[in-house]
């Protein structure tokens, strides 16, 4: 991947305040994109932008709650042009399905599925010269994990949404693909991976033998965001250390 492959392109990243979203924003900025970092709170976004600048790129914070479609649309409508959207905002609730409340269900589905759609819609309306939209799905789009019913449902829905939008917006020159991270070391997974029993059990089922780091998603997102993938749309790229290929069997 050439270092300045995205030079001159504007890339909006949601969920950019931490974890995977932050790593993707920094990667895009490092590849030359003008990054607009979206998240609810300003302070983490500023940290992301500082990291982007440290990587030699440009980024600015744009605080907005993605679950309010109008708030996100206002961010993209203010941009002179838009080439890339990476919808990385995500929420998780771990709760046995028998105990899951309507509020918890809505909280997860609102961020992971509804917000992803309205962010993609607002972005696509601005992508008059074509563009690339990358959604962030999950292993749970393909396999089940107990206590993650709402999360799995939202990510499965997001995978279907990705395929639907890819076909609908292909004539507009807008490509839509999904990045499916496996076990990645982020604040969202820190507790799980740190648990001596559960964490060990999770790790020994990854063929590459370790969790991924957020910056290991950089290559895939740069590929999907750039013209390197100009004939790729509607696809999911799993970045999971081999998890899905093995079904989590110990090597």
Partner 1 sequence: MSRLAGKVALVTGAGRGIGRATATRLAAEGAAVALVARRTEDTAALAAELAAVGGKALALAADVTDESAVEDAVARTVAELGGLDILVTCAAAPGASGPAEETSLEQWRSLVDTDLTGVFLACRAAARPMLTSRSGRIVNLASFHVVATYPQRAAYVAAKAGVVGLTQALAVEWGGRGITVNAVAPGPIRTERTSWFIRQDTGAAAGMTGRTPTGRIGEPEEVADVIAFLAGDDARHVTGQTIVVDGGWTRNAWWGSHPFPG
Q: Which two tokens stand for residue 163?
A: 């395929």
CA distance 37 to 41: 11
For the chain, state the CA radius of gyration. Answer: 17
Give me the least distance between CB of 186 and partner 1, in Å please: 15
231 in active site: no
Give me the least distance between CB of 18 and partner 1, in Å please: 20
72, 105, 118, 151: which is the annotated catalytic residue?
151
Interface contacts to partner 1, rule CB under 8 A:
94-96, 139-140, 143-147, 191-192, 195, 197-198, 201, 244-251
Give me the least distance between CB of 31 and partner 1, in Å please: 32
Angle subtended by helix axes 149-169 and 116-126, to nearest 10: 20
CB 218 within 8 A of CB 175: no
CB 205 within 8 A of CB 133: no
Give me the least distance between CB of 246 and partner 1, in Å please: 6
Give the nearer residue to partner 1 in terms of CB position, either 80 or 247: 247
Give the nearer residue to partner 1 in terms of CB position, either 168 or 204: 204
Cα–Cα separations (whole angstroms), residue 130 to 84, 123, 225, 235: 9, 11, 12, 18
Give the nearer residue to partner 1 in terms of CB position, either 80 or 196: 196
105: CB partners within 8 A, 6+ apart? 150
* Residue 41 C-alpha from the chain's centroid: 18
Give the nearer residue to partner 1 in terms of CB position, either 186 or 226: 186
Residues designated catalytic: 151
């Amino acid at each position: 991947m050439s270092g300045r492959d995205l030079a001159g392109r504007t890339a909006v990243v949601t969920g950019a305040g931490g974890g995977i979203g932050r790593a993707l924003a920094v990667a895009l900025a490092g590849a030359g994109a003008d990054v607009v970092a979206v998240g609810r709170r300003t302070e983490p976004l500023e940290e992301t932008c500082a990291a982007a600048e440290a990587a030699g790129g440009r980024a600015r914070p744009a605080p907005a709650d993605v679950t309010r479609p109008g708030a996100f649309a206002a961010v993209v409508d203010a941009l002179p042009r838009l080439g890339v959207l990476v919808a990385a905002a995500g929420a998780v609730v771990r709760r046995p399905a028998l105990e899951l409340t309507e509020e918890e269900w809505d909280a997860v589905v609102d961020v992971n599925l509804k917000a992803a759609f309205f962010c993609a819609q607002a972005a696509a309306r601005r992508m008059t010269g074509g563009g690339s939209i990358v959604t962030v799905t999950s292993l749970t789009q393909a396999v089940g994990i107990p206590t993650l019913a709402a999360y799995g449902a939202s990510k499965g829905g997001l995978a279907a949404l990705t395929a639907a939008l890819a076909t609908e917006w292909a004539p507009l020159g807008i490509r839509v693909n999904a990045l499916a991270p496996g076990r990645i070391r982020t604040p969202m997974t820190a507790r799980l991976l740190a648990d001596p029993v559960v964490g060990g059990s999770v790790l020994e089922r990854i063929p590459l033998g370790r969790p991924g780091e957020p910056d290991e998603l950089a290559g895939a997102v740069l590929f999907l965001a750039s013209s390197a993938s100009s004939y790729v749309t509607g696809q999911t790229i799993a970045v999971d250390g081999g998890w899905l290929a093995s079904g989590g069997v110990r090597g």
